[in-house]
């Protein structure tokens, strides 16, 4: 069922689950054709990278076979960033990344409009990050190093890393500003860095896709992150199309109460450029429901939280661990439908304590100590996670179905090293999810953009030089925006298209690749992360979870463009 308008809303004070689907339905089946979707495709690989908006990464993509890509050109004036008063434009952007402040950069812009003087090198407009932090800059951390405002060039590893940028559930909704897209800077802990972008055509993935012999591709320029905020929630939305419930959550307002508190602007925190209008608390769960709520409320986990099962961040208090989930997810649906699948995660064997399995690099130490030089210093044998392993990215590890010791865990939760082997030997399952290790996932703050993009090319090379090449379709996308600006308003701010209280949020990069395509092209139809679930369900005739995957557009439009070209649609 395709909905022209669709909303999942909760009334103020509603109990968990007391929400209703509201919408106007169009003809059932109008948005997919399963036979066409799967024609010539036996394997689908989803590569899930980290933390970039579309304008930040793909905004400079050239027209494809004459079809323009909706990038940074022609950006509407409404996206000039404004101060907390929601009216005054910044004259200059302050910066906190140590390689973008003045000094070391010269002051070329001064702004006194907000009462506090801003002396900066940056005006109120997007800027090219690589003009100041090139890919050769030695600004990257080691896997166990964290630098709040980045590492000064010359003091780190090569790769051109920037500092990290805040990306939280309520913060992003404030930044979107009902679709005006003009409070990214004010709502950020990184200030002007939110407006930076990369030279798209220098990216290794761009160069690979435009090299001789590369398979055709379709870039999707209206693909939005499934939920507001950060990685945890968007990984859950990837596999379940909804936010998970924290069972038996505490409601006493004490130290173990994980509910957020938002101010009159819907902000749950302060930033260097934002002062809350009241008490705030940016925690793991949504705010308590009550009179006047206009944003999501209840016992829903929306910000970074740890699972109950290993691997989880060493030393995590039990009250900060999400109880095992039992809601419907695409893994259970595929297994029930006889579809083979696996989630391949970089660093999984080390983190999960799978001694001697593919990807294990900690040796057979008899004294039971982790020996990989990049291991988390707090690790306890046999769980030896890499210092940049992200526990909250392992979506299925939050579910009781995949608890330690289960057959389902053994069959479906695997190390990325095993994917490379299976791609080279022609043993790919029907559906593969790829989650690269932190050093390879492009996440600002701890990963190099160029290095992560090169890892993408390594994955594609393994796939398209293996026995399953001709029958394998790949979807590359990103979990969320990473706090970075994009000029295109998401459907959740326009009240149209498939949306609910969770999102979609900011537009993100997405590209589909397949040797079955006769053309490369651009898909201008509207999609979000839940479209991936819908595509799998429609392709294999599976049921939906009953959440947004039941109503969102699948990716058939991109497939048709790859088969027929833009001009014939």
pLDDT digits (tens, 9 = 90+) for 500-551: 999 999 999 999 999 999 999 999 999 999 999 999 999 999 999 999 999 9
CB 96 within 8 Å of CB 191 = yes
Pairing mode of beta strands 127-128, 196-197? parallel
φ, ψ (nearest 5 deg) of residue 326: -130, 5
pLDDT of residue 551: 95
Structure tokens at 268: 């749950």
Q: What are the pLDDT digits (tens) for 479-492?
A: 999 999 999 999 99
Write the CATH number of the domain with boundaries 3-347+386-568. Answer: 3.40.720.10
**What pLDDT is stored for residue 15 in this prediction?**
34
pLDDT(499) > 70: yes
Q: Do 169 and 283 contact (CB within 8 A), yes or no?
A: no
Q: Which two tokens stand for residue 462?
A: 């393994």
Q: Is the pLDDT of residue 316 over 50?
A: yes
Dihedral, CA atoms, 553, 435, 452, 186, nearest 10 degrees? 60
Mean pLDDT of 122-130: 95
Q: Determine the pLDDT at residue 367.
A: 77
Measured CA distances, 564 to 36, 218, 522 (Å): 12, 11, 12
CA torsion angle 326 330 336 342 (round to 10): -110
Q: What is the model's pLDDT at position 97?
A: 97
- Which letter, b or e, does each residue of 140-156 get, where b requires 16 or more Cβ atoms within 10 Å of its Cβ? bbebeeebebbbebeeb
Match 């009462």 to its residue by tokens.
115
Question: Rounded to an integer, what distance in angstroms lies between the CA atom of residue 354 and that of residue 347?
Answer: 10
Where in the chain are the domains? 3-347+386-568
Does residue 30 register a pLDDT over 70?
A: no
CA distance 2 to 512: 22
Question: Phi and psi for 439 in degrees, rounded to 5?
Answer: -65, -20
Identify the pLDDT of residue 52: 97
Confidence at 496, pLDDT banded by 50, 70, 90: confident
pLDDT over 50 (residue 318): yes
Predicted pLDDT of residue 369: 87
| pLDDT for the residue 32 | 55
* Confidence at 34, pLDDT banded by 50, 70, 90: low
Q: What is the pLDDT of residue 159?
A: 97
* 159 vs 31, residue with greater confidence: 159
Question: What are the distances in angstroms from CA 468 to CA 196, 343, 417, 465?
Answer: 38, 18, 17, 8
**How far, in Å, CA of 428 to CA of 341, rounded?**
8
* Cβ-contact 482, 452 below 8 angstroms: no
Interacting residues of 492 by C-beta distance below 8 A, sequence separation 6+: 228, 499, 500, 503, 504, 505
Residue 13 has pLDDT above 70, yes or no: no
Q: What is the DSSP letter of 267?
A: -
Exposure string for 541-559, b = 16+ CB within 10 A, e = fewer:
ebebbebbbbbbbbbbbbb
pLDDT at 282 over 80: yes
**Residues near 549 by beta carbon (within 8 Å), at least 6 away in sequence:** 241, 330, 530, 533, 534, 537
Give ∠ CA 487-490-495 in degrees, rounded to 5.
135
pLDDT at 16 over 70: no
Check pLDDT > 90 for residue 79.
no
Of residues 8 and 358, which shows the higher confidence score? 358
Residue 529, preceding peptide bond in cis (omega within 30° of 0): no
Confidence at residue 508, expressed as pLDDT on a 0 to 100 scale: 98
Q: What is the mean pLDDT of residues 295-299?
A: 97
Tens of pLDDT along 372-412?
A: 999 999 999 999 999 999 999 999 999 999 999 999 999 99
Is the pLDDT at 77 greater than 70, yes or no?
Answer: no
SS3 content of the chain, % helix, strand, coil (to 5): 25, 20, 55
> What is the pLDDT of the chain when averaged over all its residues?
92
Is the pLDDT at 10 greater than 60? The verdict is: no
Please check the confidence at residue 7 and state whether its pLDDT lies above 50: no
CA distance 95 to 109: 12
- Pairing, β 3-10 against β 19-25: antiparallel
For residues 326-339, average pLDDT: 97
d(CA 487, CA 472): 33
Question: What pLDDT score was predicted for residue 24?
Answer: 28
Report the Cα 340 to chain-centroid distance in Å: 24
Selection from 441, 475, 443 nearest residue 460 by Cα: 475
Contact yes or no for 498/552 (Cβ under 8 A)? yes
Residue whose entry in the numeric block shows the structure tokens 């100590």: 369
Task: With H, G, I as helix, E, B as strand and everything else as coil, classify residue 237.
Answer: helix
User: Where do we find the tokens 């095993």?
Assistant: 418
What's the pLDDT tens digit per position in 195-224? 999 999 999 999 999 999 999 999 999 999
- In the structure encoding, which two tokens stand for residue 131, read together? 């003009």
* pLDDT for 19: 40
Q: Is the peptide bond before 178 cis (omega within 30 degrees of 0)?
A: no
Position 39 scores a pLDDT of: 83
Which helix or strand (DSSP H or E) is residue 174 part of?
Answer: helix 169-176
Q: For residue 568, what pLDDT is reported? A: 58
Place of tokens 């006047």: 292
Report whether pLDDT(293) > 70. yes
Give the per-residue pLDDT at 74.
Answer: 63
pLDDT of residue 33: 60
Of 389, 452, 455, the C-alpha closest to 159 is 452
Q: Of 239, 233, 244, 243, nearest to 537 (Cα)?
A: 239
């Amino acid at each position: 069922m395709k909905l022209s308008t669709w909303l999942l809303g909760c009334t103020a004070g509603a109990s968990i689950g007391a929400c209703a689907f509201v919408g106007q339905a169009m003809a059932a089946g109008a948005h997919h054709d399963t036979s066409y979707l799967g024609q010539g495709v036996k394997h689908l690989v989803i590569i899930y990278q980290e933390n970039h908006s579309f304008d930040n990464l793909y905004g400079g993509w050239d027209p494809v076979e004459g079809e323009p890509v909706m990038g940074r050109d022609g950006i509407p004036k409404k996206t000039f960033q404004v101060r907390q008063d929601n009216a005054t434009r910044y004259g200059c952007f302050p910066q906190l990344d140590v390689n973008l402040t003045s000094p070391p950069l010269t002051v070329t812009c001064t702004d006194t409009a907000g009462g506090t003087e801003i002396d900066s090198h940056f005006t109120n407009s997007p800027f090219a990050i690589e003009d100041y932090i090139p890919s050769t800059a030695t600004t990257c951390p080691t896997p166990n190093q964290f630098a709040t405002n980045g590492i000064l060039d010359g003091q780190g590893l090569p790769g051109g890393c920037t500092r990290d940028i805040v990306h939280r559930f309520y913060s992003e909704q404030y930044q979107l500003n009902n679709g005006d897209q003009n409070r990214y800077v004010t709502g950020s802990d990184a200030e002007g860095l939110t407006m930076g972008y990369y030279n798209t055509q220098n990216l290794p993935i761009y160069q690979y896709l435009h090299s001789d012999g590369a398979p055709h591709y379709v870039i999707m320029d209206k693909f939005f992150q499934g939920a507001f905020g950060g990685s945890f929630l968007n990984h859950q939305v990837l596999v379940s199309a909804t936010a998970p419930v924290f069972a038996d959550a505490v409601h006493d307002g004490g130290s173990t109460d994980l509910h957020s508190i938002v101010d009159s602007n819907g902000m749950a925190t302060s930033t260097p450029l934002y002062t809350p209008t009241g008490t705030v608390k940016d925690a793991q769960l949504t705010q308590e429901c009550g009179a006047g709520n206009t944003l999501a409320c209840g016992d829903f986990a929306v910000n970074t939280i740890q699972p109950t099962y290993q691997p989880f961040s060493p030393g995590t208090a039990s009250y900060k661990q999400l109880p095992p989930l039992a809601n419907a997810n695409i893994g259970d649906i595929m297994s029930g439908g006889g579809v083979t699948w696996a989630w391949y995660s970089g660093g999984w064997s080390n983190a999960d304590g799978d001694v001697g399995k593919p990807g294990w690099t900690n040796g057979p130490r008899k004294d039971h100590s982790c020996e990989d030089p990049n291991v988390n210093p707090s690790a306890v044998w046999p769980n030896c996670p890499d210092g940049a392993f992200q526990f909250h990215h392992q979506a299925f590890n939050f579910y009781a179905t995949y608890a330690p010791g289960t057959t389902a865990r053994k069959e479906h939760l695997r190390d990325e090293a095993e994917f490379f082997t299976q791609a080279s030997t022609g043993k790919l399952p029907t559906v593969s999810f790829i989650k690269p290790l932190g050093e390879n996932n492009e996440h600002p703050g701890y990963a190099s953009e160029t290095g992560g993009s090169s890892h993408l090319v390594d994955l594609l090379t393994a796939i398209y030089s293996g026995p399953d090449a001709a029958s394998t379709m790949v979807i590359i996308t990103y979990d969320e925006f990473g706090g970075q600006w994009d000029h295109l308003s998401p459907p959740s701010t326009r009240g149209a298209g498939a949306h609910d209280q969770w999102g979609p949020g900011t537009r993100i990069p997405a590209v589909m690749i397949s040797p079955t395509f006769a053309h490369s092209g651009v898909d201008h139809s509207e999609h979000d992360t839940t479209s991936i679930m819908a595509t799998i369900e429609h392709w294999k005739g599976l049921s939906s979870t009953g959440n947004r995957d039941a109503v969102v557009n699948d990716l058939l439009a991109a497939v048709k463009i790859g088969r027929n070209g833009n001009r014939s649609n």
